[in-house]
Structure 1
């Protein structure tokens, strides 16, 4: 079972979860004008998986999807993910999973993300814990094949309303939200994990270079959120916790410290890649700060206490996953959802609710948490041009 397959102004009016974020304007190619993205190609884990895992491995079941889609829609939440809000903001449709053979439309992009995916290629033991067989390396290879096959079928005169135009790949937005499973799998030995960080980051950079070599030019890269604040971990901390184990907001400090170190290395690598990849426009998005701000100000932002889990039953000796049924003391127990998901930050103890994702997306799309500090509608322009 996947545990950490999750997956970035300053003062913004909260948009209700049933109201779409305003769409970006389309304009010219001058550095001061909005970009005209013809498509989005996304890579990542369950933070941005719009159904790849559901069609390739195990489908999401009710009550997943209940708030927005009113049915399971392949997403690890009750509604939309950040990538859905990005697509809508740019005036593009939600992304079809690359692995989905039914009802998919790839005219405006594709989603290669799968729940449990890692940057590092997982070992056999990691597969047993729910890691995806589609790490970033495979996702990038799928993208390359997708691009090559698109060119072939387009030249053959095949149905063109559901496939991209080959000349538009270099103009597309390429989004990344991956890495948390690499860290979550190693939290048992923090020092060993810390020693692996440079290698994990180097693998990430290698795949970004590979994307650039086949024509990708616009990159929007999320760092990793505060894994030490995931309710499914926090609720299992002994009471009272050891001195200094939790930070002032109740998050596991040692886990967040490693995440911060990973994010620091990732940002330094992005800066290096900007200098190396002369035609690339690379935006680094500080998802960590946005999510931590929401968690540390939950009640002020209209949510209940930040470590409440909406779907599933978790407590001392009890773990019933969202949508699962099990037998406890001879009785059948169902892990259903809470009465008001819009008041809760965490959907299932790992992933965020539709309303929380709305809040997060609202806070990153204008560029207030980006480096360089530009909105996503202008992220196609190189930093030196602005």
Structure 2
């Protein structure tokens, strides 16, 4: 009934627990994460796409931040609840140019990001140019540039806003990306073509993890992709779905099945990464099950129809997106928010409400849907 630990004593990892095994139970020590770095899409973007392009406007962010905060929600995202659980500040976007503090990490996620390199512009379908490979390039640039600046201002207050070299090995690296690769695939490929592309997509994510490991990263928290077929936007333009098109909860069945296939391959690849990266603690997190569980149990939880949208005007085939104005039957219509976002799962048809994000965070960060089954506060441990 004991616990043994292997302490790694490299120059960047002195006294930090990277590897542990539990024999018959027992509790692991909490990790002393000094920072965390996130890579992803709009599910975890805390201001990147707003900094690079047109800022996200009200009523986004007004539920918690009381103003637009670069997030595609009425309030906090899962990545914000990660920060709270780790007792770290909310992440500033790497692309922010003013008022940023990167001592405790940075966020490289941008809305519309894919794992694979896109071959269309953001102005066509909203796909970000900052795909995962570019986010990794930005991380490398961030690390090199911040080290140079730190040496210039060492010992001053400005240095307190910059990461310390030794903290990269004591950081958590989080990933939440892949949903947009599927959405692009549904738009451009047959299901067979997309299925054939899944291994390459997953391998590109693995390549990013390998690169960060080579740069000293050791703890990785990897979200799988959610039930994309349950996003209300996928039903906005469907009037009479054929038999078998939807599942028992009204979600697009084939899209969810593809997400499940992606997740199976991602989990298998994470298992192989543990063998390839012997000092890495890699946690695969089943966000799909949490999100689908929330959607399928919405009624018993006292929530609104999960396929209904809180913010925006979506009646018949007239669609005015959240925070926008448009004309319907010669009258101006505003895509307003609902009175109580806390009972809605979908904020705007694509993104989750803060209340849903918190529920999902509570049901994933405790480790119950993680492989290995450890909470995020202990994700530095190899098991």
| Equivalence for 2:354 | 354
Q: CA deviation at 1:126?
A: 6.5
Greater Cα shift, 156-165 or 125-134: 125-134
| Equivalence for 1:20 | none
Partner SS, residue 272 of structure 1: helix
Decide whether the 8 Å contact of 1:127 with 1:133 is kept in 2: no
| Equivalence for 1:206 | 207
| Equivalence for 1:106 | 102
| Equivalence for 1:232 | 233
CA distance in 2, matches of 1:71, 1:148: 33
| Equivalence for 1:24 | none
Q: CA deviation at 1:195?
A: 1.4
Q: Structure 1, unaligned stretches of length 5 or more?
A: 1-26
| Equivalence for 2:160 | 161
CA distance in 2, matches of 1:313, 1:209: 44
| Equivalence for 1:173 | 172
Give me the TM-score of the superposition, normalised by structure 2: 0.90
Alignment of 1:56-67 (within 5 A): 56-67=52-63
- Cα RMSD between the aligned structures? 1.4
| Equivalence for 1:145 | 141
| Equivalence for 2:311 | 311
| Equivalence for 1:345 | 345
Alignment of 1:1-386 (within 5 A): 29=17, 31=20, 32-124=28-120, 128-158=124-154, 159-188=158-187, 189-239=190-240, 241-383=241-383
CA distance in 1, matches of 2:133, 2:50: 20
Give me the TM-score of the superposition, normalised by structure 1: 0.90
CA distance in 2, matches of 1:319, 1:195: 34
Greater Cα shift, 126-135 or 94-103: 126-135
Q: CA deviation at 1:313?
A: 1.1
Partner SS, residue 185 of structure 1: helix
| Equivalence for 1:22 | none
CA distance in 2, matches of 1:251, 1:192: 22
CA distance in 1, matches of 2:269, 2:149: 36
Q: CA deviation at 1:236?
A: 3.2
CA distance in 2, matches of 1:161, 1:182: 37
Structure 1 or 2, whichever has the larger Rg, is: 2
CA distance in 2, matches of 1:45, 1:167: 28
Decide whether the 8 Å contact of 1:218 with 1:282 is kept in 2: yes
Greater Cα shift, 322-331 or 305-314: 322-331
Q: CA deviation at 1:132?
A: 0.5
Q: CA deviation at 1:127?
A: 5.4
CA distance in 2, matches of 1:124, 1:49: 20
Q: Give a deviation string over 1:268-293, Cα, whole Å, max 9, x none.
A: 00000000001111000000000000
Decide whether the 8 Å contact of 1:80 with 1:354 is kept in 2: yes
Partner SS, residue 160 of structure 1: helix
CA distance in 2, matches of 1:360, 1:205: 24
How many residues align structurally? 356
Decide whether the 8 Å contact of 1:175 with 1:221 is kept in 2: yes
Decide whether the 8 Å contact of 1:325 with 1:332 is kept in 2: yes
CA distance in 2, matches of 1:110, 1:320: 33
CA distance in 1, matches of 2:220, 2:139: 14
Decide whether the 8 Å contact of 1:28 with 1:34 is kept in 2: no
Partner SS, residue 37 of structure 2: strand
Decide whether the 8 Å contact of 1:175 with 1:220 is kept in 2: yes
Partner SS, residue 194 of structure 2: helix
More strand by share: 2
Partner SS, residue 128 of structure 1: helix
Decide whether the 8 Å contact of 1:326 with 1:332 is kept in 2: yes
Q: Structure 2, unaligned stretches of length 5 or more?
A: 1-14, 21-27
Q: Give a deviation string over 1:180-216, Cα, whole Å, max 9, x none.
A: 0000011142121111111111211111111111111
CA distance in 1, matches of 2:121, 2:139: 27
CA distance in 2, matches of 1:301, 1:44: 29
CA distance in 2, matches of 1:57, 1:37: 32
